[in-house]
Amino acid sequence: MIKVAELIKKEKNRLQRGLELIPSENYVSKDVLKALGSILTNKYSEGYPKKRYYGGNEFIDQIEELAIERAKKLFNVEHVNVQPYSGSPANLEVYYAFLNIGDKVVGMNLAHGGHLSHGHSVSFSGKNYDFVHYGVNQETELLDYDEIRKLALREKPKLIISGATAYSRIIDFEKFQNIAEEVGAIHVADISHIAGLIAAGVHPSPFPFTDVVTTTTHKTLKGPRGAMIMCKEKYAQQIDRAVFPGMQGGPHNHTIAAIAVCLGEALRPEFKAYAKQVVKNAKALANELKKQGLRLVSGGTDNHLILIDLTGEECVGKEAEAALDEVNITVNKNMIPFDKRTPFNPSGIRIGTPAITARGMKEPEMKVIGQMITRVVRNYKDKMIKDEVRQQVLELCKKFPLH
């Protein structure tokens, strides 16, 4: 126990002294942490509110109902299931609800910004369903909805997935819904990365017209590591049965409580201001990186993340991630569209602004961060320069302490 406590303390110190730029990471509030570390982890509650297989769930029912009520209000949706353990399980539960093994699905190519659970060959989804993938246009590096429509008309999938994990531009969910309706498919929007932006009105919403929406509850939503499935009322029974008893047993009540807390926070005006600043910061950071001469996939960003193409640099994904780690800047190596390198050492790095915005940083700090990133990438073997940048990072972090 002492060892674990020591490691937690070290991780807290790492966070205090560094810039977390991985776009799927964020800092939750103390209230979310309190709920997550509460006695609610002790309780078993298989089933749903008022329909449990265990006694003693009076207050658990109220907590789950509160989370559902807040999600409905925040996203303007008819039905919500807050029990999925995380994002990938939520996507698999949707597949289980609507598909048979071997059914055809259209999703986004992982190398172009999609997710493992959107049918990659190493994933359960790719191994058990017949996935056909769309990507971005090679010249614009943007989604080409006409091409996606042609693909769907040709392949006649049973389900179409929109949403991405490394796409920095606006996604037109209504166009995806129209394509799905034209070919008679179910449209599933995975908004895991941009849920907080959608909730705050700084990204177009898939609600209320989209058939089914999945999301994690962390990332831009600033909650615990959990997930939700939201859908039209006509699909409610299919979704609920797929989650329990289809693919899960007892829900994680402490996580559901923390989800309820984060959704309550997301309904406040200050959260909208936060989400708007996340996008402002991403745009400011992108502009500075371009000013410094780095190439950005699609030329910039409309949301919280930026994909940097290092093809023209001596230092590519793996080396860039390691060098930035040395100076306390955390990023992740990432494939870029039409990448000629491997996922183990791809051509790009992916960065985002949710966590640094949560610390209170704004546009002036983005300019400094953009300069530091470029300096390290261009001098990734120079120990003296990396030492100088590390000191800059420490000084910047002292001005914006974690609470």
Judge whether 61 counts as a catalytic residue. no
User: How far is C-alpha 277 from the chain's CA centre?
Assistant: 17
Which are the contacts of 139, defined by CB distance < 8 A and separation ≥ 6? none
Active-site pick, 190, 302, 321, 365: 190
> Which of 165, 210, 215, 216 is labelled catalytic?
216
Cα–Cα distance, 241 to 246 (Å, whole number): 6
**Catalytic, out of 17, 25, 43, 44:** 44
What is the Cα–Cα distance from 402 to 176, expressed in whole angstroms?
39
Is 139 among the residues known to form the active site? no
- Pull the structure tokens for residue 9: 């303390």
Q: 394: number of CA atoms within 13 Å, CB side? A: 9
Distance CA 360, CA 139 (A): 36
Q: Are 111 and 335 in contact (CB under 8 A)?
A: yes
At residue 318, φ and ψ (nearest 5 deg) are -65, -45
Q: 165 an active-site residue?
A: no
Active-site residue flag, 44: yes
CA angle 115, 173, 348 (to 5 degrees): 35
Active site residue: 70, 219, 283, 386, which one?
A: 219
Q: Which amino acid is at 332?
A: N
Separation of alpha carbons 374 and 43, rounded Å = 49
Catalytic, out of 17, 25, 27, 46: 46
Assigned token pair, 270: 């200050």
Q: Identify whether 314 is a catalytic site residue.
A: no
Residue 146 one-letter amino acid: D
Residue with tokens 């509160």: 66
Known catalytic residue at 375: no
Catalytic member of 225, 290, 295, 318: 225
Is residue 127 classed as helix, strand or coil in its secondary structure? helix
- Catalytically active residues are 44, 46, 190, 216, 219, 225
